[in-house]
Amino acid sequence: MTHPAIQLPTLIAHRGYSAAAPENTLSAVRAAYQAGIDWVELDVQLLGDGTPVIWHDADVARCSNSRGALASMDLANAQTLDAGSWFGDAFSGEKMVSLETMLALLNELGMGVNMEIKVNKGRDPIALVERTLPVMLDTLPSERLIISSFDSRALVHCRQFANSDRLALGVLFGSVPKTWRAQCEAIEAFSVHPDWPRLKRIQAEAILRDGYKLLCYTANDPSAFHSRWEWGISSVITDEPAAFKRFLDSH
Ligand code: G3P
Ligand code: MG
């Protein structure tokens, strides 16, 4: 498998710079860019009308001024929501953003994205992949795109549906299971994305030895994470990219 020639960044801003702006919004991506971070992690899923949007939860209660499941909304409904004032008055009126609009901003800023295919409970991974993967592959250069998921059905379908080896796929894990190698081989993975406090050094070394990149989520305390860099970790996905950057610049 030939993977795209991705120049992996040390720091990836989780859900955009989500400590500085409402997560998964245009403001959060712009905040990352302004902080000198050139890659973001974002979550994509479908509204009830099939429109792909950048959103983490199955419903809108936590990150908007309303309630309701994404699966029950169309784009017109969804865009009436205020997806910013829950975070701060300065973000009042921020909209839920479509995948298409987000990809346009990423291209405008020349940023890379780790797009997480977010298969919430009861949602269809196949439809999600088929509605999102072609637009991502058509819009972004393969050097600026990593697609990840916790859902192995989604990842397997990405590999089959893309019909291209110019697609970097990442396997998300909580704890790294004993089956990690088989899962990676089944999709010809580019990277493994574990929950950093649960990752053991021996696992990190085996993953790297097998040629996979290692992207840890979600580390927010640079001093607590610091000893892990010597394990060879490729990138950290963080809500606090500016704090990590300052820490790394001074150590
Ligand atoms: O992709 C890393 C991380 O985003 C996975 O967990 O729940 O924050 O989407 P979550
Ligand atoms: Mg995510």
Q: How far apart are CA 117 and CA 153, in angstroms?
A: 11
Q: Rounded to the nearest whole angstrom, what is the distance from the C-alpha of residue 41 to the centroid of ligand 2?
A: 6
Q: Could you tell me if the CB of 56 is within 6 A of ligand 1?
A: yes
Q: Which atom of ligand 1 is nearest to the CA of 150?
A: 5
Q: Which atom of ligand 1 is nearest to the CA of 43?
A: 9
Q: Could you tell me if the CB of 41 is within 6 A of ligand 1?
A: yes
Q: What is the pTM of this model?
A: 0.98
pLDDT tens figures, 162-212: 977 789 999 999 999 999 999 999 999 999 999 999 999 999 999 999 999
pLDDT tens figures, 52-84: 999 999 999 999 999 999 999 999 999 999 999
ipTM: 0.99
* The CATH number of the domain covering residues in 11-249: 3.20.20.190
Q: Rounded to the nearest whole angstrom, what is the distance from the C-alpha of residue 174 to the centroid of ligand 1?
A: 10
